[in-house]
Every structure is written in structure tokens, then in C-alpha cells.
Amino acid sequence: MITTSNLQKLFTTEEVETTALNGIDMTIKDGEFVAIMGPSGCGKSTLLNILGLLDNPSTGSYNFYGTEVGDMSERQRAQLRKGNIGFVFQSFNLIDELTVFENVELPLLYLKTPAAERKEKVDRALERMNMMHRRNHFPQQLSGGQQQRVAIARAVVAKPKLILADEPTGNLDSANGEDVMKLLQELNEEGTTIAMVTHSPYDAGFAHRTVNLFDGKIVTENFHV
Ligand code: ADP
Ligand code: MG
């Protein structure tokens, strides 16, 4: 389970101070699939980045599976991320210089998984995402839908507890978007907890509930049946 309590995030630049998050109390239970929606600039990505230990809150607390992470250093957060969290982004964020296989292998290299086991796990993830035939290609040789399937393979290869997806279908046409949503739904049904930012009510329909943000606050929440 992950729980935030009165989470605040302030960004200060030379000219302006922005309150990106203004008191977020949120719990995501194991096995849940939660959609986060709201207008541009309301704090969705900031929240997802904090939930994913990519950033820390300015004030408030965040409990990640029993560990209080609010005050952790960047290094400690990176250590805790390993193997526990998988990310999927709108822009895929694959490394252009690495092949499909090498991109998916990265989380396992961070975990110092032995080579034979890495190969087996990467192959399994690529098969699952129907990308085995492209294992030696580079990201730029793939379509958007294929790149996102590789990114999902990378997100799941180390079997994380939690997947965070920031507008995962934002750069895809509707057919590829639907494929990606079905893959996320399958992973959730197998037990992976998912928090996903989306602008699409259709995509949100794959989740168990939607949390609506406005101006850094949770304004409404609706449960889907
Ligand atoms: P959303 O994902 O909902 O569109 P964001 O979480 O990206 O919104 O941003 C929330 C607010 O915080 C916006 O006003 C944005 O400009 C600001 N913000 C986000 N990241 C930074 C940053 N690194 N530095 C300064 N301001 C930021
Ligand atoms: Mg965003």
C-alpha cells in the first residue's frame, strides 16, 4: 500500500513560486488500478513523479509499502525504486543508442541480475509484448505503438509491485492506445498495482477509480463498477 498525507510540492524559480501540489491525501491499495485526471498544469505529473520516487515532496509524508520516504535522499530513493517501480511515459523514453533488448535489460542490470537470467527475463517480457522479432532493432526503427510496448516490457521486466504511467496513450492512435490499455489491464489483473495519468475518459474506464485533481488538490473521486 502507498499513502500520502498532506503532500505539498513547491517549485521555486528566480521569478515565480508554484504550488504544484497543495495537500494531497491519497491511498492506493495493493492490486488497485487508479486513474488520475485533471486539466493541464494541475499537478498530475508532479504527483506521479513523487509516487514513483523520482522526486520528493516539499512537505507532508509519503509512505511507500511501509517505508517513510518524505525525507530520503535522491540516492536512497533510487535504491528503493529498483525492482519495485516500473515507469511508462507518453514519450516512451527509450534510449536511442540501445537496442530493444538492451533497453528492456536495463532494470535488470541495475539489479545486478546474472546474464543468463537477464536474457531469460528480457525474452519473456518481449514475447509477452509481442516484440521478440524486433529485439535487435533500435527505437527509431519502430512505430510509436511498438516503442510503447518495448517501454512496457522494460517497466515490467523486473516484476515491480507498482507501475506508474504518465499519459501512456498520449502519443498513440486509438488502436495502439487500446492495445496498451489492455496490456496494462492484464498486468493489473495479475496483481500489479497501477497509477496512471490520463486525459482520456475512455482509458480511465480501465481503472477501478478516478481521482480528479484541480490546482494541486484532489477535488472529486469516482469509482467505476
Ligand atoms: P500536469 O502534469 O497536471 O500537467 P505538472 O505536474 O507537470 O502538471 O505541473 C504542475 C505545476 O507545476 C505547473 O504549474 C508546472 O508549471 C509546475 N512545474 C512542474 N514541474 C516544475 C519544475 N520542475 N519547476 C518549476 N515548475 C514546475
Ligand atoms: Mg503532465
pLDDT tens-digit readout, 1-47: 999 999 999 999 998 999 999 999 999 999 999 999 999 999 999 99
Q: How confident is the model over 161-176, as a mean pLDDT?
A: 96
Q: Out of 9, 22, 45, give the residue to mutate to test ligand 1, the one with the largest number of ligand atoms within 8 Å of its CB.
A: 45
pLDDT given for residue 225 in this prediction: 76
Q: How far is the CA of 41 from the centre of ligand 2 (A)?
A: 7
Q: How far is the CA of 46 from the centre of ligand 1 (A)?
A: 6
| Ligand 1 contact, 73 CB (< 6 A) | no
Q: Out of 7, 8, 9, 11, give the residue to mutate to test ligand 1, the one with the largest number of ligand atoms within 8 Å of its CB.
A: 11
Question: What residues contact residue 172 under an 8 Å CB cut-off, 6+ apart?
Answer: 144, 145, 148, 180
Q: How far is the CA of 42 from the centre of ligand 2 (A)?
A: 8
| Ligand 1 contact, 214 CB (< 6 A) | no
Q: How confident is the model over 179-200, as a mean pLDDT?
A: 96
Atom of ligand 1 nearest to the CA of 46: 6
Q: Is 178 exposed, middle or buried (0-12, 13-18, 19+ CB in 10 A)?
A: middle
Residue whose C-alpha is closest to residue 193's, from 37, 64, 62: 64
pLDDT given for residue 71 in this prediction: 80
Q: How confident is the model over 74-96, as a mean pLDDT?
A: 95
Q: How far is the CA of 44 from the centre of ligand 2 (A)?
A: 5
pTM: 0.95
**pLDDT-based confidence at residue 168 (cuts at 50, 70, 90):** very high
pLDDT given for residue 36 in this prediction: 98
